[in-house]
């Protein structure tokens, strides 16, 4: 634990540079884009190079970026249930129904910013439409590439008037990607260090760090030029969540989907039969390699088949299949199907091996 604390302290004191530089195997899909598995072939939907229009800021390199993120999005959306996708669509439709003056008066709530944007040639309606469509794009689980390119085309001029060329829409994708890393890192480390901080506060802290330090500080600078501070951004987020996601369902869908891509549930090797026990371990790949057994919430979907205790010990009761899930701070971050096979008598299973801990670098 001393080693873990030292790493965490270094991370905080250096502006989370360690986390921002850490590489992990599976690529993150931006939290700003909930994209659809319904696209059978992303390549087939991509415009040809000749269709890239310079006057709306789309060139082939940028189209390649869109394609890369779309592929990652499709992979991530495969992990979502039909119910989760429907919840995203429901939120998207709610976002689209709000009139533009509602966004200005109820979400921006910043007359100074409105006047400063006017001075840059951006009307309140244009700014409101861009924010509305950006949020709707987050929760659009179909027509991935078409929706993303349409947003870029429709709002390119508004975006450029506010952010210039210093912060592009492609930079927003990188920001979202790093933000998801930061949130998962804080979630895991808060568990390892027993830090009792609400998840929503972790998200706010991550947003503030990103806008005030490092390569994304330029976003905070450009927003400040139109009278929008980091505090304003956090308040806008809170107002949006109170309006559209009061129970944090959609927030947790995104965090859970990303977390599942960077965690794995490991069951002690060997066949599982009624009356036997197996150790279950949560393996985390980011922000570092951890193994976690206790202190999290273990859940068995079919307790008649098998139950799991607080220490991650799986107790088999009868043949069948159950899904073992694990939560941290109420968010599902991993799941795995486990099968209990019929008992073949008292003969030892040659594949049954004692638990040696599945030890990566550190263990909770």
Where does residue 229 rank: exposed (0-12), middle (13-18), buried (19+ CB within 10 A)?
A: middle
Residue 117 structure tokens: 């944007």
Query: CATH assignment of 262-363?
Result: 2.60.40.1080
Question: Which phi and psi (to 5°) does residue 105 adopt?
Answer: -85, -30
d(CA 218, CA 213): 9
Predicted pLDDT at 205: 93
**C-alpha radius of gyration, the chain, whole number:** 23
Tens digits of pLDDT across the chain (364 residues): 444 444 444 444 444 443 333 333 333 333 333 322 222 223 223 333 333 444 445 566 666 766 666 666 666 666 788 899 999 999 999 999 999 999 999 999 999 999 999 999 999 999 999 999 999 888 877 776 777 788 888 999 999 999 988 888 777 777 877 888 888 888 888 888 888 889 999 999 999 999 988 888 999 999 999 999 999 999 999 999 999 999 999 999 989 988 888 889 999 998 899 999 999 999 988 667 788 888 899 999 999 999 999 999 999 999 999 999 999 988 998 899 999 999 876 555 555 555 554 444 444 5
Predicted pLDDT at 38: 28
Confirm if 291 and 362 have CB atoms less than 8 A apart. yes
- Would you tell me how many other CB atoms lie within 10 Å of the CB of residue 169? 21
Which helix (H) or strand (E) segment holds residue 337: the answer is strand 331-340
State pTM to two decimals. Answer: 0.72
| CATH 2.60.40.1080 boundaries in the chain | 262-363
Predicted pLDDT at 57: 53
Residue 84 structure tokens: 């989760």
Any idea what the Cα angle at residue 67 is, between residues 132 and 143, rounded to 5°? 50
């Amino acid at each position: 634990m001393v080693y873990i604390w030292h790493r965490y302290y270094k991370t905080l004191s250096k502006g989370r540079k360690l986390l921002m530089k850490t590489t992990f195997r599976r690529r993150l899909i931006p939290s700003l884009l909930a994209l659809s598995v319904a696209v059978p072939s992303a390549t087939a939907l991509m415009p040809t190079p000749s269709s890239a229009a310079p006057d709306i800021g789309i060139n082939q390199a940028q189209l390649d970026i869109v394609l890369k993120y779309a592929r990652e999005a499709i992979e991530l959306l495969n992990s979502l249930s039909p119910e989760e996708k429907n919840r995203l669509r429901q939120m998207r439709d709610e976002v689209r129904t709000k009139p533009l003056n509602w966004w200005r008066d109820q979400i921006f709530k910043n007359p100074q910013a409105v006047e400063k944007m006017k001075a840059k040639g951006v009307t309140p309606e244009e700014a409101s439409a861009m924010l509305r469509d950006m949020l709707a794009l987050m929760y659009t689980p179909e027509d991935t590439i078409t929706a993303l390119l349409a947003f870029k085309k429709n709002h390119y001029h508004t975006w450029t008037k506010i952010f210039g060329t210093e912060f592009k829409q492609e930079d927003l994708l990188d920001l979202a990607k790093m933000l998801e890393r930061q949130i998962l890192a804080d979630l895991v480390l808060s568990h390892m260090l027993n830090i009792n901080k609400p998840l929503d506060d972790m998200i706010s802290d991550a947003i503030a760090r990103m806008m005030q330090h490092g390569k994304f500080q330029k976003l905070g600078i450009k927003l400040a030029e139109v009278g929008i501070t980091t505090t304003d951004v956090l308040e806008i987020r809170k107002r949006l969540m109170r309006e559209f996601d009061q129970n944090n369902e959609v927030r947790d869908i995104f965090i859970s989907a990303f977390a599942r891509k960077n965690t794995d549930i490991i069951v002690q090797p060997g066949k599982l039969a009624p009356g036997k026990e197996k150790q279950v371990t949560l393996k985390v790949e980011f922000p570092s390699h951890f193994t976690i057994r206790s202190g999290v919430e273990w859940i068995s979907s079919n307790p008649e088949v098998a139950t799991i205790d607080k220490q991650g010990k799986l107790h088999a009761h009868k043949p069948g299949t159950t899904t073992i899930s694990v939560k941290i701070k109420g968010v599902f971050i991993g799941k795995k199907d486990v099968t209990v096979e019929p008992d073949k008598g008292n003969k030892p299973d040659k594949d049954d091996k004692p638990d040696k801990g599945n030890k990566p670098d550190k263990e909770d």
